Amino acid sequence: MELKFIIKIKAEHNPPVFNEELGKGVVATQVIDYKVTEEDLSSPTFALHLIEQADELLNEYFEVEIVKLEQ
């Protein structure tokens, strides 16, 4: 079963369109093919795996830099 992860900036931050094909605020998409059944989708263990996968994608695409500003 293929699931698509959409990495985007939240709408409340009024994001721009980075790519017309992806839509407003979408930075990237990732399709992952899981060997699971419909029943597996409601499993708490699989739900936790999906959350962990989403966190990995966020870390892969984004970083936060802290820069000292001159005063």
Give the total number of structural domains in the chain: 1
Contact residues for 24 (Cβ-Cβ < 8 A; gap 6+) = 11, 15, 16, 17
State the residue range of the domain holding 16.
Answer: 2-61
In a domain, 26, yes or no: yes
* pLDDT tens profile 8-59: 999 999 999 999 999 999 999 999 999 988 898 889 999 999 999 999 999 9
In a domain, 69, yes or no: no
In a domain, 8, yes or no: yes
CA distance 32 to 10: 22
In a domain, 67, yes or no: no
In a domain, 57, yes or no: yes
In a domain, 29, yes or no: yes
Q: Is 37 exposed, middle or buried (0-12, 13-18, 19+ CB in 10 A)?
A: exposed
In a domain, 70, yes or no: no
In a domain, 68, yes or no: no
What residue has token string 């999906």? 50
The pTM score is: 0.80
3-state helix, strand, coil in the chain (%, to 5): 35, 30, 35
